[in-house]
Structure formats: structure tokens, C-alpha cells
Amino acid sequence: MDHVDRIINQWNKARPDLDVGPMEIFGRLARLTAKLRSEMEKTWKVYGLNPASFDVLATLRRSGKPDGLSPGELLNLTMVTSGTMTNRIDQLVKADLVERVPNPEDKRGFLIRLTEKGFATIEDAVNDHVETQHRLLKGLSATQRDSLNGLLRTFGETIDTDP
């Protein structure tokens, strides 16, 4: 019996007329999300990163565009507001992890690209990040991971299509 089971039992006693079954799933997802995020943040912190800075550096690294991405492209790939992105970029520039360079295709614009320090940082951080993720999943077999991934994909698709 885990923490969520205890909560469900309490609700079943307090409100036997209420179907609280969905609380089991949402409760477990919330607890897992918090624990997983905490473990990943420990990894990022080793490199002086937080979720936001890791997100930007990882997006730049995986983009396959060594010359950088426009702020608009970064916005589309990270799904944050422009004000938030500007702040993230400013902080990363101050830390010498990214730089703003002129955009050869748009004389008024600029690109954001990794500095040498930023490239080295994200290379090491992403290696450890992936190791952390593997460690967190070690209690599941390959079949269980595949099943969970499929269920989560399906669940995500049903949520994304709701009005």
C-alpha cells in the first residue's frame, strides 16, 4: 500500500458515493513527476543548470544547426513565451554558454548559438542526464518500459484532442 492507496482509502470511507479512481492515476503521476524532476535537477545542478537553461542548451544542441537558431525557432521548439525566452537567453549569454550572432538570412535579426563552453557543458550534462534517466527506470523491464511508454503516448493523445 503506497501513499496514494491511503488517500484513496480515506476518500472511499469519507465519500463512498464518489468514484475517486482517477485520483489514483493523477496522484501517482504527480508524485512521480515531482520525484523524477527532482532527480534530474540534481544532475543539471552539477553543471550550473536549471530546467530552463538545460532546455535551451539541449534544444540548441539537438537542433543540428551549428550556426544557431533564431529566437522564434527556439520559442517553437521549447514552447515558452517570448519574454521568458529572452530572459533565458540573457542568463545564458551572461554565463558564456550561448552567444547572439548576426543572422545571415535576416540583417535585422540574430541567431542564438552555443559557445564552446556551452557545447562542452551540454555534452557532459546530457550524458549524465541520460544516465540519470536510465537509473530511474532500472526497476522496469524493457517490456514494461515499452508498455508504459505506449500507455503514456495514448493518454497524451487523448488529452491533446480534448476540446
45 lies in some domain = no
pLDDT digits (tens, 9 = 90+) for 23-78: 999 999 999 999 999 999 999 999 999 998 999 999 999 999 989 999 889 988 98
| Whole-number Å distance between alpha carbons of 42 and 148 | 24
Is residue 30 in a domain? no
Q: Tell me if 58 is assigned to some domain.
A: yes
What pLDDT does 56 receive?
Answer: 94
Q: Does the pLDDT value for residue 163 go beyond 70?
A: no
Contact 24, 4 (CB under 8 A): yes
Structural domain that includes position 143: 51-163
The pLDDT tens digits for 102-161 are 998 888 889 999 999 999 999 999 999 999 999 999 999 999 999 999 999 999 999 877
Closest by Cα among 136, 61, 55 to 88: 55
Q: Residue 92 in contact with residue 98, Cβ under 8 Å? A: yes
For residue 111, the SS3 value is: strand
Q: Compute the CA torsion angle 131, 133, 139, 140 (nearest 10 deg).
A: -120
The pLDDT of residue 78 is 86
Residue 44, domain member (yes or no): no
CATH at 105: 1.10.10.10
Q: Which residue has the higher pLDDT, 2 or 162?
A: 2
**pTM score:** 0.86
Q: Is residue 102 part of a domain?
A: yes
What pLDDT, on a 0 to 100 scale, did the predictor assign at position 162? 54
**Structural domains counted in the chain:** 1
